[in-house]
Each structure stands twice: as C-alpha cells, then as structure tokens.
C-alpha cells in the first residue's frame, strides 16, 4: 500500500485563485486505507474550498486511479461535470495524479503528498512514476513529475543539456522531462504556471515519518516496545 498525507487547504486554494471551478477525483484504494481521502477528510476539504468561493462541479471516487483503463471508463460517465471545471483536484498518490493528467485536458492539482516508506511499493504498470518524495509539486508542472521524468531530478527548469530533437543529454533515447512539462502546459494554455514560484524542497519529508511507524503495517514486524516481533525482553 502507498502511504499519503493531506496537503494543507491553503496550498490547494492557492491554485484556485483564478480557477474557481473544481472537479474532485478521489482514489478509493491506498488513500482510503491511509485514511487521507476518506469521506470525512474529503468533506472538510471541500467545505474549506467552497467557503473560499470555489465551485465543486462534481465528484467521483474510483477504486484505483493508477488503473487507467478503469479510470477512463469511469471518467467517461462524468464528462459533463468534469469539463465544466477549470481544474481537477485529485486525492491520490503521485501515480494516480499523473494517470489522471495524462487522460484529461485539464490542469490537475494534487490534494495529497505521497510519503516515502523506505522501500518498494507496488504500482499499476504504466508510464506514471512517483518517488514518494513527501511533497507533490506537479500542480506546477502540468501533472508531470519533474523528479522522475528529468534524469537529474531538477525542480527549476531544464539544465540546458537538451539535444536538438528534445532528448536528454544523459541518454539520447530519453526525452527531456522539462520539455515534456512545457509541451503539456502549452497544450493546456498554462505556460504562465511556469512563472509561479515553486516552494523550496523540504528534503526532511523524504525520510519516513516516525508517527507512521506505529501503523498496523509496522506492528506486524515490530512490537509496542520497538523490538522485532517475537523478540523476548531480557
């Protein structure tokens, strides 16, 4: 299971200052297990947004947003509500947000941060990638993660090592991540998003949070005293 934490509502509202209509898309998979996209939490977030004058055009919960076949089928039934919005607020891990961005012609805003577990997590096999860095920034970058699409993980634009055909200097078969981001924003008519100030990276969020080490998943391996499960205290 992928772990997530809720973004602060003020960060989400910042992206709705000019776009007052949102479609809310919720993943019913891992975020539901982590209790970050549960009905209570999602309800409080929607209430905070509406109090700031944001209109919710519709809401949809899909079992797993990382399953693009399922996502496409479900979104097709809500196309009218979806395209009545200016942006899509996605309550999912980074993989789910990127899967959504690749399927809709609207800017996406992540409502959750994907938390590093210190290990490998399962994903639906697709092109979307997430490093679980703990602070999702793809609202700035057209729904494409710069940390995974850029071979150098740059957060402030291309390095200048792009080839004439738009590929990366590290590998001439790999497209430049920041060119993909620019092309995506240009398609959306949102190139101006690149002029917005991206927050400084807080690398402390890359570490697995201590408060999450007490979840039931950790309890399977570690007892309440911090000893390996089954160990006998001396």
Task: List the chain pLDDT tens, one digit each, 234 residues.
Answer: 678 888 888 888 888 777 789 999 999 988 887 788 877 778 888 888 888 888 999 999 998 888 888 999 999 999 999 999 999 999 999 999 999 999 999 999 999 999 876 555 555 556 678 888 888 999 999 999 999 999 888 988 888 888 888 899 888 788 999 999 999 999 999 998 888 877 777 777 776 666 655 555 555 555 554 444 444 433
Dist CA 154 CA 112 (whole Å): 21
3-state secondary structure at position 139:
coil
**Chain-centre distance for alpha carbon 122:** 16
Nearest by Cα to 21 from 52, 65, 60: 52
Tokens 């697709």 locate to: 126
pLDDT on residue 232:
40
Q: Where are the domains of the chain?
A: 1-139, 140-199
pLDDT on residue 67:
87
Contact by Cβ (8 Å): 205, 113? yes
pLDDT on residue 231:
41
- CB-facing half-sphere around the CA of 111: CA atoms within 13 A: 28
Alpha helices in the chain, H assignment, sequence order: 9-14, 30-34, 39-51, 68-76, 79-82, 94-101, 146-149, 177-188, 216-219
Dist CA 68 CA 138 (whole Å): 18
Residue 199 has φ and ψ, to the nearest 5°, of -65, 150
- Predicted model pTM: 0.80
Dist CA 78 CA 158 (whole Å): 36
Q: Kindly tell me the sign of the dihedral angle through the C-alpha atoms of 189, 195, 197, 202.
A: positive
Contact by Cβ (8 Å): 90, 6? no
Compute how many other C-beta atoms are within 10 angstroms of the C-beta atom of residue 121. Answer: 15
Tokens 């891992």 locate to: 30
3.40.50.300, 1.10.10.10, 3.40.50.11860, 1.10.645.10: which CATH number matches 1-139? 3.40.50.11860
Tokens 């999912």 locate to: 92
- Six-digit token pair at 7? 């973004």
pLDDT on residue 211:
63
Contact by Cβ (8 Å): 97, 110? yes
pLDDT on residue 123:
55
């Amino acid at each position: 299971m992928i772990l997530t934490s809720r973004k602060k509502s003020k960060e989400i509202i910042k992206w709705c200052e000019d776009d007052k209509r949102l479609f809310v898309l919720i993943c019913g998979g891992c975020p539901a297990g982590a209790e970050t996209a549960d009905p209570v939490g999602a309800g409080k977030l929607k209430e905070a947004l509406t109090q700031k004058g944001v209109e919710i055009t519709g809401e949809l919960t899909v079992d797993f947003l990382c399953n693009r076949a399922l996502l496409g089928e479900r979104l097709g039934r809500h196309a009218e509500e979806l395209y009545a919005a200016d942006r899509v607020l996605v309550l999912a891990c980074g993989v789910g947000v990127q899967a959504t961005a690749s399927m809709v012609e609207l800017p996406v805003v992540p409502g959750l941060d994907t938390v590093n577990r210190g290990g490998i997590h399962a994903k639906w096999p697709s092109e979307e990638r997430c490093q679980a860095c703990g602070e999702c920034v793809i609202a700035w970058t057209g729904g494409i993660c710069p940390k995974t699409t850029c071979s150098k993980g740059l957060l402030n634009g291309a390095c200048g090592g792009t080839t004439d055909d738009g590929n990366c200097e590290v590998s001439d078969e790999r497209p430049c991540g920041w060119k993909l981001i620019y092309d995506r924003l240009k398609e959306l008519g949102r190139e101006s998003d690149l002029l917005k100030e991206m927050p400084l990276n807080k690398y402390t969020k890359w570490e697995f949070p201590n408060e999450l080490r007490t979840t039931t998943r950790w309890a399977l391996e570690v007892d309440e005293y911090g000893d390996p499960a089954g160990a006998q205290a001396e």
